[in-house]
Amino acid sequence: MRCPFCGNDNDGVRDSRNVEDGRAIRRRRSCNHCKRRFTTYERVEGLLQVRKRDGTCQDFSRAKIERGLAQACWKRKIKPEDIQQMAIEIEAHVLDNYEREVTSEDIGNICMERLRDFDEVAFVRFASVYRSFRDAQDFVKELTPILPQREPRNPR
């Protein structure tokens, strides 16, 4: 921890104790350079927040992702365990890459990426719900760059 008085990054912890009913740890530190003392608090970060398009936030929820995937995979030959596993992987990816906040748009994109490799029909379904396209032209414009590229046919 950098000393707030002299700016040196060389301190020692003299005392640690639980405070706020064990929800935080208070550490008394002393700077080895200027010898002054300061205090730090360590707390668990709140749950990752998902910022929606309308600007409001809600707690990140794997269950919600799983529901969205399950809807997209409806009547496809996809095992519930596979959907669950996909949701677990998406959650791990999100928690690895975002600290406090992630947009619902980013989560949607990550889900779409996974679904694309998994089942093309489920992917298109998810994309159409999630992007809520205004018309067919929008739909084609959005999907063309992300659908797997096919070799153009070469008529002879």
Interface residues toward Zn ion, by CB under 5 A: 3, 5-6, 8, 31, 33-34
User: One-letter amino acid identity for 10?
Assistant: N
How far is it, in rounded angstroms, from Cα 122 to Cα 76? 8
CB of 47 to Zn ion, least distance (A): 35
Q: Which residue, 33 or 125, is less far from Zn ion as judged by CB? A: 33
Q: Which residue, 36 or 76, is less far from Zn ion as judged by CB? A: 36
How far is it, in rounded angstroms, from Cα 85 to Cα 97? 18
How far is it, in rounded angstroms, from Cα 7 to Cα 144? 53
Question: What is the three-class DSSP state of 99?
Answer: coil
Q: How many other CB atoms are there within 10 angstroms of residue 36's CB atom? A: 13
Q: Which residue, 5 or 74, is less far from Zn ion as judged by CB? A: 5
CB of 35 to Zn ion, least distance (A): 7
CB of 11 to Zn ion, least distance (A): 7
CB of 86 to Zn ion, least distance (A): 50
Q: Which residue, 31 or 72, is less far from Zn ion as judged by CB? A: 31
Question: What is the three-class DSSP state of 123?
Answer: helix
